[in-house]
Amino acid sequence: MGCEPILEPHRDAVGLTDGLDLTDLPNGAQWNGRIAYLDRDGVLNIGSEDYVNSPEQVVLLPDAGLAVGALRRAGFRICVVTNQSPIGRGHWPSGTLARIHARLRELLLEGDPDAHLDLILHSPYAPWEGAWARKPNPGMLEAGRQLLEAAAKDSNLVGLFIRFDDDWTDRADESGSVMVGDRGVDMGAAFEFGVKAIRCDPSSGLAGVIDKILEGAA
């Protein structure tokens, strides 16, 4: 294990393995296992060196909702994986992040009714805590795969135990999946996890690379 102890990813307002209801893919499509792992700031919304600190500060990048909708129409589940050290640094509590993400979901759906985020995972830890969940470590991606696969079978997630790093041996094929981010830590997490990495310009975000993703998925 590269990092000790294991500091796991978090979900908003619930435990990591609490129930997860998935919204059906558009047009009755059956999920074939592909996941789009997305960073948040610089991919879906405009980021800030001073952090996005409130729901009122959430501003979507151009056509972000349409891009998420396009991914879901192409059969991808959407898993947002975001480092959120303001929590670990004591700037604000996890409830603030939950409200920020509620606003993000609302704005994406205003842009496209298919733009559902299936799962949002965050790492609340400060950089010096050495968390396996904090990118460039792959903990959020590892948890995202296991949560989405389990929820597709049983939304209650009964008996699910998330495994990380060498403890997780029964891994799915990620050849059809993709990780989109605007920073080196995102690309590092993708490399460590073994998924295709696509780096976007933070001024255009996901919409700027959506054609590349869909062409590769065809």
For residue 205, give its domain range.
26-160+172-217
According to the model, what pLDDT value does residue 217 have?
80
Write the DSSP symbol of residue 118.
S
Q: What is the DSSP string of 10-62?
A: B-SSS-TTS--PPPPPGGGPPP-S-EEEE-SBTTTB---TT---SGGG--BPT
C-alpha R_g of the chain = 16
Please tell me the pTM assigned to this model. Answer: 0.96
Structure confidence at residue 6 (pLDDT): 85
CATH number at residue 156: 3.40.50.1000
Within-domain flag for 45:
yes
In-domain check, residue 53: yes
In a domain, 17, yes or no: no
Q: Please check whether residue 20 lies inside any domain of the structure.
A: no
Residue 184 within any structural domain of the chain: yes
pLDDT tens per residue across all 218 residues of the chain: 444 578 999 999 999 999 999 999 999 989 999 999 999 999 999 999 999 999 999 999 999 999 999 999 999 999 999 999 999 998 999 999 999 999 999 999 999 999 999 999 999 999 999 999 999 999 999 999 999 999 999 999 999 999 999 999 999 999 999 999 999 999 999 999 999 999 999 999 999 999 999 998 87
What count of other Cβ atoms lies within 10 Å of the Cβ of residue 16? 17
pLDDT of residue 1: 45
How many domains are contained in the chain? 1
In this structure, is residue 40 part of a structural domain? yes
Domain-located, residue 166? no
Catalytic positions are 39, 41
Of 76, 59, 92, 10, the closest CA to residue 202 belongs to: 59
What are the residues facing 10 on neighbouring strands? 122
